[in-house]
Amino acid sequence: MGRYGESLAARHLTEAGMTILERNWRPGRTGEIDIVAQDGDALVICEVKTRRAGAFQHPMAAVTPGKAARLRGLAERWLQEHGGAPPGGLRIDVVGVLLPARGAPVVEHVRGVQ
């Protein structure tokens, strides 16, 4: 289910004009960045959360302040390993994918999560 959601998110980001640079980047055992993308001159670290409709919580609710802090740390590590921040800086986005029992998946994209 997670890989399917990530594929839908990558397609959504591409259709929004972003370029996917990397998927499922792992700097070791410290975590994973689901999608690294470029949006103009900005680097975007994107967390993807996928849930089935009727699940305990909405996909976006799964990104807690602790998770956001871990994402910022992973983003800094990515920048260190890939030559630093681009001119447009760094942004952290969240894509929530909701899979209903019937019908098309719903993809929500929130830009600039703190």
Q: What is the pLDDT of residues 48-82, one digit of tens each?
A: 998 887 756 666 777 778 888 888 899 999 999 99
Higher pLDDT, 97 or 65: 97
Residues in the chain: 114
H/E segment holding residue 6 = helix 2-15
Mean pLDDT of the 84-99 span:
90
Return d(Cα 19, Cα 15) in angstroms, integer. 9
44-78 CB burial, b ≥16 within 10 A, e <16: bbbbbbbbeeeeeeebbebbeeeeeeebeebbebb
Instruction: Give the dihedral of Cα atoms 81, 108, 101, 55; nearest 10 deg.
Output: 70
The reported pTM is 0.88
Q: What is the pLDDT of residues 4-24, one digit of tens each?
A: 999 999 999 999 999 999 999
pLDDT greater than 80 at residue 92: yes
CATH of the domain at 57: 3.40.1350.10
Residue ranges making up the domain that contains 53: 2-110
Q: What is the pLDDT of residues 21-37, one digit of tens each?
A: 999 999 877 789 999 99
| Count of domains forming the chain | 1
Tokens 């919580």 -> residue: 57
User: Residue 114: what pLDDT?
Assistant: 67
